[in-house]
Structure 1
């Protein structure tokens, strides 16, 4: 198939290239994000994009959480507007897992900041059986439980929120699991001195950079018993080999759960990078192509790129 490239996406150059293309050929337009009107969802810009075609197919799940001209605005002037096969697959996996999961349903949440995951936790508390907390966000929960975390990543302003989330989980009968041993280091470096300590013995001048082996085992046992698992966020600084074992252990448990019939969904972003780095991308049910989009879906938000379609 012949592919044509246009150096514009709405101007005369784009129009001339499109008109010159023959049936069965493809025209690739300049990146719309070079235009300020794209992010502002400008009406005239949307109309110009719509003028190029007879119908619209959105197959970019990774952009579907953005109310931008080429994602949502164009659908007001170009219909039918339908989902592509990848978008359909993404929504089907996420929707089924969150709204009608086979149980036990386990959500694994990691990453750096509690503030990034509050809406996800609040939305999932009424849906899951277990929430596993790891990564940098775990240390705020530990402080909320009265623990000292040394120089570990901490959002002090979120400690009370962490307390409230743990209370809500308990009231809902949800098992909220926190790490209880850690790999700590005397510097934020792959070559730093490191050791494993429990939650009561993190040195004041050291920082935790990964979950410990006992925690990884406990998390893994729960994951392997699940029938639906959603993972969003690593367990530690997995980019450094010295602190990737906890994240790798979670990935291995997900693979094991999948082998025994669980639906396992990796929520894009760092989680997708982590499962790829561990070499298991093809051994889980689904690896999302959109970190931000999957996160917003797990928060319970509508995605503009989906809700704007005439045929979902």
Structure 2
């Protein structure tokens, strides 16, 4: 754990009001049915710990991007039946986050009960990092608890400013504790070797620092998805119309990364072949091409059969595995095969004793699609927060608790 950080286990919540920041920004369908409740389920142990000690809980969260204005579309009210059912108790709701109305409702709250406040982002001050808003929120609880790993990389009021109004009465929840422990286990580089990192997704810019940070201890770094094409282009390959972030600084850094890998004799691996398409849609015409010679007007949208075999062979021999980001345009079923193979192979390898850490919406979605999400050592609830942590940065939400 990080030195100086308290967890909920350091406090007794009897007769105390826990102001608990959670990340209930969950995906829903048009009928407001939750399509993936991982983030809520992951927070339940912290909630149950506080309730079992006869504490009171005020839950605060954001949902969507209402841009500082109240709106029925982004109300958190839809969570009440779901939370009440999961916790087997009536969860109350308040249409505001600050003010006399909220304070009155909290005053009436009994021990062992929960009150969910309305969407924090209905107040523009939440995303602005506003001291006054933080102060008003701080009046609502005795102990501040952050169990919202998924947003702890953001310098928003409820994450980075609010804790300072609680002095020493602030801590992280059990979910945050788990996230930090598993990340530390990976970032220490002391995991059982070989250590393999699979990085995918469209943007290379968000992951350059990660590659720089893990070169020293990773044995294999597998690059797939849109991230691979800038490297291939730089090495003189023809990539047709495949996605490329154009940026001089990116090019210089990629060069540095390639040189560093060569110096340290580290394996930076790219797809050998790709499934190319003549347009960016699921029904596009397709064929298999070498990643180094994609014809003009064609674009790579998934890794090909040789690449799947090559990547999966490396994963099968690995003992510590981290994966973030799909290796193809996963949202198109016709270009999801590579990502799904990676998911299945990591799950199988984990069952044989490897330690695996997976984060990012698409990576987790592919595991669920293959029915193997329960076979991974740890599923991270944060996409952006996971990426920031992998750059070896202390997240604002963690810094504010120390």
Which TM class, normalised by the smaller chain length? over 0.9
In structure 1, what is the equivalent of residue 105 of structure 2? Answer: 17
CA offsets 1:15-68 (integer angstroms, 9 cap, x no match): 111111111110111111221222222222112111111111111110111122
Matching of residues 87-236 of structure 1 within 5 Å: 87-99=176-188, 100-157=190-247, 158-236=250-328
Q: Per-residue deviation at 1:272?
A: 2.1
- Unpaired runs of at least 5, structure 2: 1-88
Q: Residue 107 of structure 1 aligns to a residue in which SS?
A: strand
Mapped pair 1:278 → 2:370: yes
Q: Per-residue deviation at 1:270?
A: 2.6
**Relative to structure 2, which stretch is displaced further, 270-279 or 130-139?**
270-279
In structure 1, what is the equivalent of residue 8 of structure 2? Answer: none
1:240 to 332, 352, 370: 332
Structure number with greater CO (CA < 8 Å, separation at least 6) is 1
Cα distance in 2 between the residues matched to 1:130 and 1:272: 21
Mapped pair 1:31 → 2:119: yes
Cα distance in 2 between the residues matched to 1:128 and 1:258: 18
* Alignment CA distance shift 1:17-1:185 (3 Å): same
**Relative to structure 2, which stretch is displaced further, 196-205 or 207-216?**
196-205
8 Å CA contact 2:346–2:356 kept in 1: the answer is: yes
2:130 to 26, 42, 50: 42
Q: Residue 326 of structure 2 aligns to a residue in which SS?
A: coil
In structure 1, what is the equivalent of residue 361 of structure 2? Answer: 269
Cα distance in 1 between the residues matched to 2:344 and 2:101: 50
Cα distance in 2 between the residues matched to 1:126 and 1:12: 54
Cα distance in 1 between the residues matched to 2:95 and 2:291: 57
8 Å CA contact 1:5–1:17 kept in 2: the answer is: no
Cα distance in 1 between the residues matched to 2:361 and 2:265: 30
Q: Residue 116 of structure 1 aligns to a residue in which SS?
A: coil
Q: Per-residue deviation at 1:200?
A: 3.9
Structure 1 runs (4+) greater than 4 angstroms displaced: none
Mapped pair 1:81 → 2:170: yes
Q: Residue 136 of structure 1 aligns to a residue in which SS?
A: helix
What RMSD over aligned residues (CA atoms) do the two structures have, in Å? Answer: 1.4
**TM-score normalised by structure 1 residue count:** 0.95
Q: Per-residue deviation at 1:277?
A: 2.8
1:62 to 150, 174, 178: 150
In structure 2, what is the equivalent of residue 302 of structure 1? Answer: 394
Q: Per-residue deviation at 1:98?
A: 1.3
* Alignment CA distance shift 1:214-1:45 (3 Å): same
What is the number of equivalent residue pairs in this alignment?
Answer: 310
8 Å CA contact 1:144–1:160 kept in 2: the answer is: no
Q: Per-residue deviation at 1:290?
A: 0.8
**TM-score normalised by structure 2 residue count:** 0.75
8 Å CA contact 1:190–1:241 kept in 2: the answer is: yes
CA offsets 1:147-168 (integer angstroms, 9 cap, x no match): 0011111224334432221111
8 Å CA contact 2:238–2:292 kept in 1: the answer is: yes
8 Å CA contact 1:185–1:195 kept in 2: the answer is: yes
Cα distance in 1 between the residues matched to 2:246 and 2:134: 43
